[in-house]
Homo-oligomer: A and B are copies of this chain.
Amino acid sequence: MKYSELDRTGLLQEQDRCRKTYEALKAQGLKLDMSRGKPGKQQLDMVSGILTILSDPADCLADGLEVRNYGGFSGLPSAKALFADILGCRPEECFVGGNASLNLMYDTISKAYTHGLLHSEKPWSKLEKVKFLCPAPGYDRHFRITESFGAELITVDMTTTGPDMDRVEALVKDPAVKGIWCVPKYSNPDGIIYSDETIQRFARLRPAAPDFVLMWDNAYCVHEFDGDFVPFPDILSLCREAGNADMVFEYASTSKITYPGGGISVMAASEANQKYMQKLMTVQTIGFDKVNQLRHVLYLKDKAGTLALMKKHAAIMKPKYRMVLDMLEREIEPLGIAEWQKPKGGYFVSVNTMDGIAGRTLELCKEAGVVMTPAGATYPYGVDPRDRNIRVAPSLPPVEELQQAMEIFCVSMRLAALEKLLAA
């Protein structure tokens, strides 16, 4: 029954029950981590073939390039082709980087500050004010990049079809608004796929700033854990068709395809953007790790090869997400104290509790040995104005541990809700 329908006595009885459950779970002295979207050991073991796929030095001559030596600054041509196949863009629109797409995103913003982007009137460091749009709940590491350079972060609400586009279109009329962070497919943390209309409205945006940048982090572009691959449009083409060719930078990586600690990444952008950025980047590096780029090309081959591998990841991931969703449905839904999306891909389940209990829920979790993403992390400056969003990351623990962690999570949320209701 719904907590809101319980009288004080009912609430106290429920609190008593929950406390006993909580104390019993706490007494087990568990140490469980659901804080980050980390692949589990089973997933890492599954791709072990990549460790040895490049074993013959004779194979190191690829695309006419000696991958072991200097050269090939913008990436191995076949690695560009692989990412272009996956993203639906052109190989010449791809710059292939090291193991972290985050690093490429940081670099884009950093260069906007130190040198300006292609259509900047001056470097952002020379401007009095830079504002950046942050659809929230969103990815803390995105927000922190722009925050670290001193930009003012403006929260835009997420809807079930993507960021609130009416608000976005209104905000970009301000020339100080220089960009927006987007995770268009299986958004972090909601797992929402931006609707076609949302994506079209992004492509057709008419920002006042000539150097407005759509930071399009396609981190989960092939990351279905339930059901078939869901196609997505090529944002570079859409922007080009809308006369916004140079507005978008798209990012992706193999972090959750092969290894988070040893993958490869891509920055896709118009050829004009590539020309401009690469001229700046030649000062920075002679090129990223081509040996590892070649390993990935040999191992993943193409989009089809990548999707086949993602099916195997899905087989490992799906039971974990089922566990989380089933548990929430059974333990929380009847109480009316939280809501959540039911994603079919990505790495998270995003739970919105009743207002004001997210922080307390996670505090109780921590006391009982379960570490989750800190409350507020999904909002700019780490402050969730309604203190209600919790990002659940079920990928790392084995299913058995996950069940224990979810038991602790659910009872912690119940206790937090009861505390709040009883104090009212």
Residues of A within 8 A of B (CB): 36, 38-39, 41, 44-45, 48, 51-52, 54-57, 60, 66-72, 98-100, 102-103, 106, 110, 113-115, 123, 125-126, 141, 144-145, 148-149, 255, 259-262, 280, 283-292
Contact = CB atoms under 8 A, between A and B. Distances in A.
15 contacts: A66-B261, A67-B261, A68-B259, A68-B260, A68-B261, A70-B261, A98-B98, A98-B288, A100-B287, A106-B283, A106-B284, A115-B148, A123-B125, A125-B126, A262-B291
Contact of A57 (B51, B72, B126, B280): B51
Contacts of A36: 70
Nearest to A125: B125
Contacts of A283: 106, 141, 144-145, 148
A148 B67 contact: no
A55 B57 contact: no
A67 B261 CA distance: 6
- Could you tell me the dominant secondary structure of chain A's interface residues? loop
Given A38-B70, A44-B57, A100-B285, 9 more contacts: A36-B70, A51-B54, A51-B291, A67-B261, A68-B259, A100-B286, A100-B288, A114-B149, A125-B126
Copies of this chain, whole number: 2
A386 B70 CA distance: 30
A286 B262 contact: no
A241 B68 CA distance: 40
B57 A289 contact: no
Contacts of A287: 100, 261
